[in-house]
Amino acid sequence: MALIVQKYGGTSVGDIDRIKNVAQRIKKSRDEGHSLVVVVSARSGVTNELIAKAKAITDRPDTREMDMLLAIGEQETIALTAMALHAIGIPAVSYTGAQAGIVTDQVFTKAKIKQIAPKGIMADLKAGKVCIVAGFQGINEHGQITTLGRGGSDLTAIALAAACKADKCEIYTDVDGVYTTDPRIVKEAKKIQEISYDEMLELASLGSKVMQSRSVEFAKKYGVVFEVRSSFNHNPGTIVKEEVASMEKVVVRGVAVDKDQAKVVITGLPDKPSAAATIFTALAEATINVDMIVQNAAHTGVADITFTVQRDEAQNAVRVLPAVLKKLGGGEIKAFDNIAKLSVVGVGMRTHAGVAATLFTALGEKGINLQLISTSEIKITVAVDRAKADEAVRAAHAAFGLEK
């Protein structure tokens, strides 16, 4: 007799048959006695079709109108899902983001949720109805439709779970849960039963495609326990929740890899205190997201700075930097776009010594050169040659015994 928020992504509602399948899953949960709020995304592909139409009209569509346009993707799904539930005898009612009371700020195409007033939803739940809510969208204080940007439907589900004080939030997707690493690289990869918000956050930001980090952050902030699981089978998934003591027994939770990285090396930079600030301010102004940064002042008077960026941003960085270096009085730029970033993540690291040593040894034994190293309390990240990335992941996975 719990209140459950379920979220089904674009693949799970990709066509009429899949929507009917989702309706059956909802029925099953309801037959077990639960009250249900269900968040759905646009059918996979629909958002891209809408973007293509806008682009056919103008290169730079107005963001307000873009949100007006994109919001129809989810509106289609909620209506069809409600109909599919009616067809199997389940009372259901659809809600746009605005009707669900999801109020956002004014930033079109990447709005932040400010508050949720789910009055209508609570009344319909009480009347025994399943509430189907459009993910990804809200309304600002001027009554204009906004969208939440990438990962927005997950955010809708988790925020609604917080607002409705749901007992549980289930994020249905096309994977079975969170794995110790990518099963396509390491066939022994295992599904993780439970993971802390912090670990999930690190995995999300390190290239795991399961979920955007903003939704995990929101869940952490409001203490929403959620489960990532598949809509195509009934296997239990991965539960994401606050860290508990027992989690520290597992030193490393998983190995993440992001193969779409590039490295930019600046050598011979005059060693002034302001040099790094000048460079990274210029990159930020060009909206280039820098990830790992390493600085050495090996020789007197000159410094080397190396940083990584997403592969498709490397050329932008190379375009922006020469003017900056000229102002600073020197320096040379080289970009390498054959970089992969490998990370081991686990809250247990905090209380276990030697994790870095274990990782470096495992990679060293395979002759894999570490181009950059960066550490935090619960993760160690290294940049390696992309050609060696899979081998590195397998070595790390084995070194920490994650297959067990």
CA distance 237 to 178: 8
- Largest Cα separation within the chain, whole Å, is 78
Burial class of residue 293, CB neighbours in 10 A (0-12, 13-18, 19+): middle
117 binds a copy of itself, rule: CB under 8 A: no
- How far apart are CB 84 and a copy of itself at their closest, in Å? 5
Using the rule CB under 8 A, which residue among 86, 114, 326, 350 binds a copy of itself? 86
Q: Residue 135 or residue 346: which is nearer to a copy of itself going by CB?
A: 135
**By CB under 8 A, which span of 87-95, 151-159, 293-301, 392-400 interacts with a copy of itself?**
87-95
Interaction mask 263-302, a copy of itself, x per CB under 8 A: ----------------------------------------
51 binds a copy of itself, rule: CB under 8 A: no
**By CB under 8 A, which span of 71-79, 252-260, 286-294, 391-399 interacts with a copy of itself?**
71-79
Angle at 213 between CA 349 and CA 81, to 5 degrees: 135
Judge whether 197 is annotated as a binding position: no
Judge whether 9 is annotated as a binding position: yes
CA within 13 Å, CB half, 238: 22
56 binds a copy of itself, rule: CB under 8 A: yes
CA distance 241 to 276: 38
Q: For residues 124-153, which are near a copy of itself according to CB under 8 A?
A: 143-145
Residue 62: φ, ψ to 5°: -55, 135
- How far apart are CB 333 and a copy of itself at their closest, in Å? 37
89 binds a copy of itself, rule: CB under 8 A: no
Alpha helices in 254-313 (DSSP H): 275-285
**Cβ atoms < 10 Å from Cβ of 167:** 14
Name the CA radius of gyration of the chain, rounded: 23
Judge whether 243 is annotated as a binding position: no
CA distance 319 to 316: 5
Using the rule CB under 8 A, which residue among 13, 39, 40, 84 binds a copy of itself? 84
CA distance 209 to 221: 21
Q: Residue 79 or residue 320: which is nearer to a copy of itself going by CB?
A: 79
DSSP three-state, residue 75? helix
- How far apart are CB 80 and a copy of itself at their closest, in Å? 6
Judge whether 209 is annotated as a binding position: yes
Judge whether 53 is annotated as a binding position: no
Axis-axis angle for helices 197-205, 213-222 (nearest 10): 160
Using the rule CB under 8 A, which residue among 66, 125, 302, 318 binds a copy of itself? 66
Judge whether 74 is annotated as a binding position: yes
**What would the two tokens of residue 97 be?**
């983001």
333 binds a copy of itself, rule: CB under 8 A: no
Non-local (6+) Cβ contacts of 232 within 8 A are 12, 174
Contact call for residues 293 and 307 (beta carbons, < 8 A): yes
User: Look-up: residue for tokens 């107005």?
Assistant: 62
- How far apart are CB 234 and a copy of itself at their closest, in Å? 23
User: Which residues sit opposite 340 in a β-bridge?
Assistant: 384
Residues that bind a copy of itself (CB under 8 A): 16, 19-20, 50, 53-54, 56-58, 61-62, 64-66, 68-69, 71-72, 75-76, 78-80, 82-84, 86-87, 93-94, 96, 99, 120, 143-145
Known binding positions: 7-10, 47, 74, 173-174, 179, 184, 209-210
Q: Which residues are annotated as a binding site for ATP?
A: 7-10, 173-174, 179, 184, 209-210
